[in-house]
């Protein structure tokens, strides 16, 4: 009942094997000029330069190799991307296990934030699913372990951990798209509000957007601490989980 070839589609099975158990170098035939790791690294290098420049031709060029040679290491572009994602997750640090659960969850959240900032392509091309790779699951496992320390029931632990990860992703997505838009249009952070003012002067009407105007005048959109937004949400979420845990314990 747990036969491996029953798992999903054949391509899915091949992807899992590539993630968990990369094939050894072949016995016959010419030596491989590259390794799977080099291909994945080259993909990450290309994606780091510009998100949407990630293409098989560019990766091959990065490695000084014919385009089609990549297909000896990787079944296709999507699979290469999944390997890149798992590798990025593999660079995350883990919290000390003797810390309280909240400090460990905060550590994981900050590591996730750092990961998304260092590898923005994790967000910009998210139409693919999160791979079931070993490094992804290692991080998930450790976050579950930390949240289990709360003593909450299983369903709540799963939901709480998911909420933390999902919140960091959402906040990172907002941040990344903002900065990437700024990079594309060439407007600096200082010009940003002036630009919005210009837009508002043309189409903004006080009758239509009174609340935004109120918030604007009260400084609601002045981000003095750029990380304050997502830390606010993280603290609010962790407060909520803590309260649930206290309700269980006491």
Total residues at interface with a second copy (CB under 8 A): 85
CA distances from 242 to 96, 117, 163, 168, 239 (A): 19, 27, 13, 18, 5
Q: Restricting to residues 50-69, which ones interact with DNA according to CB under 7 A?
A: 53-58, 65-69
71 binds, among DNA, a second copy, none (CB under 5 to 8 A by kind): DNA
If binding is defined by CB under 7 A, does position 125 make contact with DNA?
no
If binding is defined by CB under 8 A, does position 185 make contact with a second copy?
yes
How far apart are CB 87 and a second copy at their closest, in Å?
17
56 binds, among DNA, a second copy, none (CB under 5 to 8 A by kind): DNA
Closer residue to DNA, CB minimum distance, 126 or 166:
126
Closer residue to a second copy, CB minimum distance, 63 or 139:
139
If binding is defined by CB under 8 A, does position 200 make contact with a second copy?
yes
d(CA 166, CA 184): 26
CA distances from 82 to 135, 155, 181 (A): 11, 28, 25
CA atoms within 13 Å, Cβ hemisphere of 110? 13
Closer residue to DNA, CB minimum distance, 60 or 157:
60
If binding is defined by CB under 7 A, does position 31 make contact with DNA?
yes
If binding is defined by CB under 7 A, does position 36 make contact with DNA?
no
């Amino acid at each position: 009942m747990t036969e491996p070839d029953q798992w999903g589609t054949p391509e899915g099975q091949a992807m899992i094997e590539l993630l968990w158990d990369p094939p050894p170098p072949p016995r016959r035939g010419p030596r491989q000029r590259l390794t799977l790791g080099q291909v994945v690294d080259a993909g990450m290098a290309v994606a780091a330069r510009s998100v949407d420049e990630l293409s098989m031709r560019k990766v091959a060029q990065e490695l000084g190799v014919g385009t089609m040679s990549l297909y000896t290491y990787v079944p296709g572009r999507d699979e290469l991307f999944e390997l890149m994602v798992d590798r990025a997750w593999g660079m995350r640090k883990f919290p000390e296990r003797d810390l309280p659960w909240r400090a460990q969850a905060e550590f994981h959240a900050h590591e996730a934030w750092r990961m998304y900032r260092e590898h923005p392509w994790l967000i910009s091309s998210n139409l693919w699913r999160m791979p079931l790779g070993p490094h992804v699951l290692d991080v998930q496992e450790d976050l579950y372990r930390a949240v289990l320390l709360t003593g909450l029931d299983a369903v709540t632990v799963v939901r709480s951990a998911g909420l933390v990860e999902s919140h960091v992703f959402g906040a990172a997505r907002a941040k990344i798209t903002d900065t990437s838009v700024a990079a594309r249009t060439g407007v600096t952070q200082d010009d940003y509000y002036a630009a919005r003012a210009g837009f508002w002067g043309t189409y903004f009407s006080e009758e239509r957007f009174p609340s935004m105007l109120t918030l604007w005048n009260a400084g609601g959109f002045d981000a003095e601490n750029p990380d304050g937004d997502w830390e606010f949400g993280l603290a609010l979420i962790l407060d909520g989980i803590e309260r649930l845990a206290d309700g269980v314990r006491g």
